[in-house]
Structure 1
Amino acid sequence: MKRRTFIKKTAVSGIACSLPPVFPFSSNPDYSISELMGKADIELFGEGINLREEAYMAYTKMKKAAYSAGFDIKMVSSYRDFYRQEGIWERKYLRFTEDDNMRPLEAIDKIIEYSTIPGTSRHHWGTDIDIIDGYAKTSGDVLVPEKFEAGGPFEGFKAWLDENSEEFGFYLVYTDDPRRRGFKYEPWHYSYAPISIPMLTAFRKKNILKLLQNEDFVGCEHFTTGFLRTYIQDNILDINQNLL
């Protein structure tokens, strides 16, 4: 079981960000394959927050600033280990293939509109968050793009994030750039760049294709080399360019 440390008092630190972002992280961070794939026992901070310490500190500062502006940042999802992502993947695969009678490759294409292959989720790193405004009145699934657009319950919150999130080191991952491929637009998904950039750099240096070919979960027998190469290029790397 992964280890969590719960901080009761808010820690505040200042972060200076610019475009393109320049962050004071190690030029050669040492991240293991198991850590990058969500299989390691990492230390997480904040009850109900579950982020690496530096990301947690930046998050609490951003939450305080948002509160002053009339928004209550509510965490929907943060750290997910490999096995939780595996469960999400397998439930969707079985639902699409058994309940919806999709062919395996159709089901996989449907899953990767929004969900990652286990071992490749940015949520494995303790740096990424899915957030909404807890003050807004809404019902049903909250993580849908329409709720963050004009007339939606999170319209004002999204405008605030567009203006302020990068000041705290948090960058939108899957933008609405029409030229971007891979995962669909996720206006709720932000990444703490000072840590996630070096983690992605380390991940890119691994043989991701081989790592995925060595996994064994429902549906993975349908992965071809061509599919995995496209997935790596489009879904892992075709993101907000400030996070590369």
Structure 2
Amino acid sequence: MKRNEFIKISGIAGLSLAIFPQFSFSNFSEGFTRNQLIGKGNPDIVGDSYTSKMHKTAKEAFNKMKAAAAKENINIEVVSAYRSFQRQKEIFEGKYKRFTNEGLPPEKAIEKIIEYSTIPGTSRHHWGTDIDIIDANAPRPANVLMPENFHGNGPFCKLKMWLDDNAEKFDFYEVYTDNGNRKGFKYEPWHFSYAPVSIPMLKEYKEKIDVKKMLSEEKILGNEYFSEGFVSKYLTENILDINPKLIP
């Protein structure tokens, strides 16, 4: 390699590490297939259930975070991790059928679904980098994934305070933050993402996936109501209006 080429490459790597000092530069040059990006198969996923399946490097980091929390008598339990395209399709279409059968117009049914649930092919859980977590040592309410459980006198307050202080040390970041100016999905204090993998995956998702075309090709129920305007708004608000630290 010529000296000038080496200096140029070294400079780029140095800039990357300056911007993301906790992440390895190599993580940002990995390529992902369409199937990996939309949840239709990923050889890097390990585990045998919907609560244990994760991207292999995310799982390593999670195990370290779980061990650290255990020292504070916090038992981090994953209630949802990797979610396949097919599973997300079942969730979305089940809600779509229920809401429309109850009398909601299709457009309103979709609006209601995407308050918390993603359209299949667009979920961060497809990547194996994102987890929904609670504290198994705390009393378990009937509906665990509710914001009030993580604040005030909620059973998972201790977990939330610990995550606020420690999650980023293990490269996990809250995705849908409690920010009044943020649009898209509502606040989810239980949802964390492993940034060294999810950041490059989001970058490639933006570059490679034509969401409207993908939803049509995959024949998602209700896709005829996904207009250009709807998809553009969904991309801007639901996929990209997240914690700024997770934006490529």
TM over 0.5: yes
Q: Distance in 1 between matches of 2:42 and 2:205?
A: 17
Q: What residue in structure 2 maps to residue 147 of structure 1?
A: 149
Aligned positions, number: 227
Do the aligned partners of 1:31 and 1:202 also contact (CA within 8 Å) in 2? Answer: yes
Question: CA offset at residue 28 of structure 1?
Answer: 2.6
1:29 aligns with 2:30: yes
Q: What residue in structure 2 maps to residue 39 of structure 1?
A: 40
Q: Which has the larger radius of gyration?
A: 2
Question: CA offset at residue 21 of structure 1?
Answer: 6.0
Do the aligned partners of 1:29 and 1:202 also contact (CA within 8 Å) in 2? Answer: no
Q: Distance in 2 between matches of 1:114 and 1:31?
A: 26
Pairing partner for 2:60 from 57, 82, 90: 57
Do the aligned partners of 2:27 and 2:196 also contact (CA within 8 Å) in 1? Answer: no
Question: CA offset at residue 227 of structure 1?
Answer: 0.3
Q: Distance in 2 between matches of 1:41 and 1:176?
A: 31
One-letter amino acid of the counterpart of residue 155, structure 1: C
Evaluate the alpha carbon distance shift between residue 21 and residue 234 of structure 1 in structure 2; reply closer, same or farther with a 3 A threshold.
farther
Evaluate the alpha carbon distance shift between residue 200 and residue 41 of structure 1 in structure 2; reply closer, same or farther with a 3 A threshold.
closer
Do the aligned partners of 1:37 and 1:124 also contact (CA within 8 Å) in 2? Answer: yes
Q: What residue in structure 2 maps to residue 184 of structure 1?
A: 186
What SS does the corresponding residue of 2:153 show, helix, strand or coil? coil
1:159 aligns with 2:172: no
Map 1:187-226; keep pairs closer than 5 Å. Answer: 187-206=189-208, 207-226=210-229
Do the aligned partners of 2:27 and 2:197 also contact (CA within 8 Å) in 1? Answer: no
Q: What residue in structure 1 maps to residue 70 of structure 2?
A: 67
Q: Distance in 2 between matches of 1:210 and 1:21?
A: 36
Do the aligned partners of 1:21 and 1:242 also contact (CA within 8 Å) in 2? Answer: no
CA RMSD of aligned residues (A): 1.7
- Report the TM-score when normalising by structure 1: 0.88
**Unpaired segments ≥5 residues, structure 1:** 1-16
What SS does the corresponding residue of 1:26 show, helix, strand or coil? helix
**Unpaired segments ≥5 residues, structure 2:** 1-16
Evaluate the alpha carbon distance shift between residue 153 and residue 27 of structure 1 in structure 2; reply closer, same or farther with a 3 A threshold.
closer
Pairing partner for 1:241 from 236, 244, 247: 244
Q: Distance in 2 between matches of 1:32 and 1:166?
A: 28
- Report the TM-score when normalising by structure 2: 0.87
Q: Distance in 1 between matches of 2:109 and 2:202?
A: 27
Q: Distance in 2 between matches of 1:88 and 1:46?
A: 21
What SS does the corresponding residue of 1:130 show, helix, strand or coil? strand
Q: Distance in 1 between matches of 2:19 and 2:33?
A: 29
Question: CA offset at residue 218 of structure 1?
Answer: 1.5
Question: CA offset at residue 20 of structure 1?
Answer: 6.1
